[in-house]
Structure 1
């Protein structure tokens, strides 16, 4: 029984090892095929046949997706043609697939170069830092990092300046808006005052549209002229009516005296016409 178990176990192990060897051989064949595509692509790039080289690199990636060289070289070809977005995508793939520090260093270094071309200096600084973490001895990466830092600081200053200018523009616009609002309020107030003055003026006019105060002045002037046409009594003097009344009274008195004199004459006796004081 134990012997049978041992024989079965040995058989299963041998089968597993055979399968592993077969799979390993298949992986090696895929990798070799993928590398051949990359080699052909490199030759085509040297001959400036970008379209054909791109197809070979894509075949290499399709044959063996873990082949870092396929993504890396394809990214370089895109970079040379100025297709920075696609180059960034392929080098990012290479950095993720990379298993060695050397591979990671190269991928991040090129990512930094692409980001500098895209004027993304702050992001380029981080890419160069990642490259130096995997290879601190690379002076070229260190030099590019210094350039990226200067560029990032300059962009930050420009952004701050633009922000200040934007705030100033907003402030000026707000001041202009406030000025326009104040002017509008002043115009409205002036119109209201004019309307009030017009209303007051209408209230002071008569039915014929003349100002009431002017009419009053004319009436007063007319009365004054009328009064000036008539003789006015002076202080200490009698008015014409008073003189008239007095003359009538004296005439009546004189008639009475005359009647009395006539009566006395008839009687034969003298009459005093004046009284002593």
Structure 2
């Protein structure tokens, strides 16, 4: 992958005449900048701008000091103002280059590409700007592909969630139907058990055909005894009144 060439332009020499005090602050800011003390450099450049608000050197170097402190939005605003106000093509080219770097660091790829293109319009021979433009375009392509992949993943996940929800719904419906069938079976069994118990209770209360109750059996036994007694009595009576025996005279 191509590596970004982080190069920002710093105006070290005067572009136009400015007051002695303004020069002093810019010179002091440049010294801080060389020592990588960018906050101190920013303060000095701001002082120079207060003395001469239209100072290209003061404003340009202030934007660069902001960039070095990763204050990319503030730096981008400063370079945009310079590019819009300067009539010098070289200054505009450098301002747009730095603007492109600021926007790129802020992850604003499409805007950074436009800034690099504007820089090249003002200075077509700037290879660093051309390189950074290619880098930003490649990053944008990767981002778009990643966004597409993420979108597809989100779509797949939504479909999976939808299918999962449908499966859960189907399972709940099936569970509900199974429970309903089981409840019906339980009720049918309870009804059958109750019916069987009622029949059993009814059979216990009413003797079945060819089956005598204890009381009926005792009455029939008593009747048989009485009938047998009557028969014995009749036999006895008959014996007593039977044919007279032959009388043998002994004369």
TM-score norm. by structure 2 comes to 0.66
**1:229 & 1:49 partners in 2: Cα distance?**
121
**1:31 & 1:88 partners in 2: Cα distance?**
27
Match of 1:136 among 118, 124, 145: 124
The answer for unaligned runs of 5 or more in structure 1 is 1-27, 231-277
Does the residue aligned with 1:124 lie in a helix, a strand or coil?
A: helix
- Residue by residue over 1:178-233, the C-alpha shift from the partner in whole angstroms, topping out at 9 and shown as x without a partner, is 1111111212222222233333444x35xxxx34257559979xx9x955679xxx
Does the residue aligned with 2:154 lie in a helix, a strand or coil?
A: helix
- Residue by residue over 1:244-268, the C-alpha shift from the partner in whole angstroms, topping out at 9 and shown as x without a partner, is xxxxxxxxxxxxxxxxxxxxxxxxx
**1:100 & 1:114 partners in 2: Cα distance?**
21
Q: Could you say which residue in structure 2 is the equivalent of 1:272?
A: none
Match of 1:173 among 161, 177, 196: 161
Larger radius of gyration: 1
Q: Could you say which residue in structure 1 is the equivalent of 2:36?
A: 48
**2:115 & 2:17 partners in 1: Cα distance?**
34
- Residue by residue over 1:2-52, the C-alpha shift from the partner in whole angstroms, topping out at 9 and shown as x without a partner, is xxxxxxxxxxxxxxxxxxxxxxxxxx9965543442222112222334333
Structure showing the higher helix proportion among its residues: 1
Q: Could you say which residue in structure 1 is the equivalent of 2:92?
A: 104
Q: How far is the alpha carbon of 1:84 from its aligned partner?
A: 2.8
TM-score norm. by structure 1 comes to 0.60
Q: Could you say which residue in structure 2 is the equivalent of 1:79?
A: 67
Match of 1:212 among 195, 206, 213: 195
The answer for unaligned runs of 5 or more in structure 2 is 1-15, 213-251
